[in-house]
Amino acid sequence: QVQLVESGGGLVQPGGSLRLSCAASGFTLDYYSIGWFRQAPGKEREGVSCISRRDDSTYYLDSVKGRFTISRDNAKNTVYLQMNSLKPEDTAVYYCAARTSHYCSDYGFQYRYWGQGTQVTVSS
């Protein structure tokens, strides 16, 4: 069964850190470009970060550059999103998604597999 499972979300104070994990089963993440998306209440889904299949190039939303880091561990078939210096505006449900292309995309419809999401809340 093909599945993506996110974990690592939670409640954190502003300035804090979280590491999200995206674990795959039923397929090998190394053959996919993996994106992290988020959706806050009342807002459209937006692409946060991506790591490409082609050469592990990484991409970030401007508002998270310098704070978030995406990486993959092929041995664990898992992609991570390290989030530092979190801000209240980072509050959202975070999803990971996989596409077979060698390249990343900001368009969610171009991703084949999606996880169920994990809630990140940044609040004092």
Specify whether the CB–CB gap between 60 and 68 falls below 8 A.
yes
β-pair partners for 118 = 94
pLDDT, tens digit (0-9, with 9 covering 90-100), for 62-96: 999 999 999 999 999 999 999 999 999 999 999 99
What burial class does residue 26 get, using C-beta atoms within 10 Å of its C-beta: 0-12 exposed, 13-18 middle, 19+ buried? exposed
Residue 95's nearest CA partner among 40, 32, 29 is 40
Q: What is the pLDDT of residue 1?
A: 85
Q: What is the pLDDT of residue 61?
A: 97
Reported as type and span, the H/E element at residue 6 is strand 3-7
Q: What is the pLDDT of residue 15?
A: 98
- Angstrom distance (rounded) from CA 82 to CA 73: 13
Which two three-digit tokens encode residue 96? 């990971």
Would strands 118-122 and 10-12 be described as parallel, antiparallel, or unpaired?
parallel
Q: In the predicted model, is pLDDT for residue 54 greater than 90?
A: no
- Angstrom distance (rounded) from CA 53 to CA 51: 7
Q: What is the pLDDT of residue 11?
A: 98
Q: What is the pLDDT of residue 113?
A: 95
β-pair partners for 2 = none
**Helices of type H across the chain:** none
Average pLDDT of the chain, as a whole number: 96
* Average pLDDT value for residue range 48-61: 94
Q: In the predicted model, is pLDDT for residue 50 greater than 90?
A: yes
Q: In the predicted model, is pLDDT for residue 31 greater than 90?
A: yes
